[in-house]
Amino acid sequence: MTSVYGPATNWATDFDHADPEYNKNIHKIWDDLKTSGCPIAHTDRYGGAWLPLTYEMVHEISYDTTHFSSRSPVVGQLKPSEIPDAIPAPVGGVPPISSDPPFHAGARHLLLPIFAPKKIDPLNSVIREFCHKLIDDMGDKEFVDGAVEYAQNIPVMVVAHLLGFPLADADQFRVWIRSALEDVGESREQREIDQLALADYINKHIDQRIENPGDDLISYLLNAEMEGEKLSREHVFGTVALALIAGIDTTWSALGSSLLHLASNSVDRRRLVENPSMIPQAIEEFLRAYAPVTMARLVTEDMEFHGVHMKKEDWVLLPFPAANRDEKEFPNADTVDIDREINRHTAFGLGIHRCIGSNLARLELNVAVEVFLERFPDFEQDTKEEVKWSLGQVRGPRKLPLRILARS
Amino acid sequence: MRVHVDPSKCQGHNRCYALAPELFDVDDYGNAFELNDGVVPAGLEDKARLALANCPEFAISIEE
């Protein structure tokens, strides 16, 4: 399928983050923009959007919730104001990621205990066992797809577990997530059909939990209170949709990029196989260098920003992955260095919207990489086949051809 | 040496807790706080500095 806008013609003035060339060549595109003196790219696509590339600007926007609203964290062809029945600020459609102060704090506060480190640690053994099963399922194949046969399955299992959804529906989740996150430049009709199907699925589960509460996030939300009142149905629905959409593509992408790095860097691979205790620090470096998630904001009023004139309702992409490659903040930013000890990366965002699932994502990444290296102490990229990159605001390999050289 | 987490800045990234669990703990909401009134036992000074240097929110301070 092709974007309704056609291929991007100029990355400085007509960029398209959902153009297949963007994620594939992202580091070269940013470097070219920065060296040509364009730290903020612009496009008229999507009704007008900006792409600031420095750590300083990403930092500033993250903390300025007055001028930059989170109401719609994924750039679409329509602005929220053009969508009938869209839930207005400060709540937005998928709280708390779509919420602004003052509503945001309460909506986030009630979710934080679910994702706190000590609460999620017991999932370690569940994830580990599942990773081993995925590798068992690969049998003795020499060639495997690290994205399809491994990375994509782990966060789906975790999120299904969290929400009490059957794992058998995993393929269906991935279709909806792709539609929501990757197909932003394609025909709106198919996306609307997918969104309705996703809404039906979630509503069916909410109705079931009202009848038969369980030990899952939906039941928790149905019981939760904000300022002494139960959450609205829209709020419960939005948070469930958020958990499903935000928890899967993101971790899958970070894991795929980490495996790709290890497949193509034999020194790092060997060091981590020999010293698994180095894995957590290496994961932080992979999160810095291959951060998957770019968020979006909407400008709340006309303003000047670092020499450009932003208009009310312009989109602003918030590329944490580009901030992580800023030489001013990270010396030798383009070198992936698993010995990097000082690493104040922004892969999980900055400020009040810090990824609420970051502890869970880190746990999944650490366990999944550890098990993969334990079972496949040697592997390489199968260069006969191409790596296929995702489209849009979440960047990671969707096809990752690997050749297994040793098993244990 | 003493460490301190500014609760108004901490967003629960948990980098300090992962890097120096001897010096930091997290509450039920995943927000960090310093252990032992922030007093850094001898020999753990480098860990305290590492935690400070890795906090994405610049929420940690050190009193030498």
pLDDT value, residue A188? 85
Cβ <8 Å between B53 and A342: yes
d(CA A313, CA A297): 9
Instruction: Using CB atoms, pick whichever of B12, B30, B54 lies closest to residue A344.
Output: B54
Domains, in order of start, for chain A: 20-406 (1.10.630.10)
Percent of chain A residues topping a pLDDT of 90:
92
- Quote the ipTM score: 0.97
Q: What is the mean pLDDT of chain A?
A: 96
- Run of H or E residues at A399: strand A397-399
Give the pLDDT band of residue A190 (cuts 50, 70, 90). Answer: confident
B16 Cα to chain A: minimum distance (Å): 11
Q: Identify the pLDDT of residue B30.
A: 97
**What is the radius of gyration, based on Cα positions, of chain A?**
21
Beta carbons of A118 and B26 less than 8 Å apart: yes
Q: Which of A341, A350, A352 sits opposite B56 (nearest CB)?
A: A350
Q: Please state, for a pLDDT cut of 90, what percent of chain B lies above it.
A: 98
Q: Which residue has the higher pLDDT, A1 or A11?
A: A11
* Residue A226 confidence class, pLDDT cut points 50, 70, 90: very high
Best residue in B17, B24, B29 for a mutation probing chain A (most A CBs within 10 Å): B29
Asked if B64 contacts B10 with a C-beta cutoff of 8 angstroms, the reply is: no
Distance between CA atoms of residues B6 and A302, nearest Å: 33
* A46-59: average pLDDT: 98
CA gap A3, A170 in Å, rounded: 26
What confidence score (pLDDT) does residue A30 get? 97
Domains in chain B: boundaries: 2-63
Lowest mean pLDDT among A79-83, A264-268, A306-310, A315-319: A79-83
What pLDDT is recorded for position A85?
87
A340-384 pLDDT, tens digit each: 999 999 999 999 999 999 999 999 999 999 999 999 999 999 999
Q: Quick one: pLDDT at residue A189?
A: 86
Q: Torsions phi, psi of A164, nearest 5?
A: 70, 30
Pull the structure tokens for residue A243. Answer: 């958990």
pLDDT for A2: 59
- Is B14 within 8 Å of chain A by CB? yes
For the domain bounded by B2-63, which CATH number is listed?
A: 3.30.70.20
Task: Look at the pTM and tell me if it is higher than 0.80.
Answer: yes
In the block, which residue shows the tokens 């994620």? A23
Give, for all 64 residues of chain B, the pLDDT tens digit. 999 999 999 999 999 999 999 999 999 999 999 999 999 999 999 999 999 999 999 999 999 9
- Give B21 to chain A, closest Cα distance, Å: 12
Instruction: Write the pLDDT tens digit of every residue in A33-48.
Output: 999 998 999 999 999 9
Distance of CA A215 to the CA centre of its chain: 26
- List, for residues A285-314, the tens digit of each pLDDT value: 999 999 999 999 999 999 999 999 999 999
User: Rounded CA gap, B60 and B19, in Å?
Assistant: 13
Q: Which of A71-80, A186-195, A311-320 has the lowest mean pLDDT?
A: A186-195
Q: In 3D, which of A283, A285, A292, A280 has the Cα closest to residue A333? A: A285
Name the residue in chain A with its Cα closest to that of B9.
A351
A150 close to A230: Cβ distance less than 8 angstroms = no
Cβ-based contacts of B17 with chain A (< 8 Å): 117
**For B34-44, what is each residue's pLDDT tens digit?**
999 999 999 99
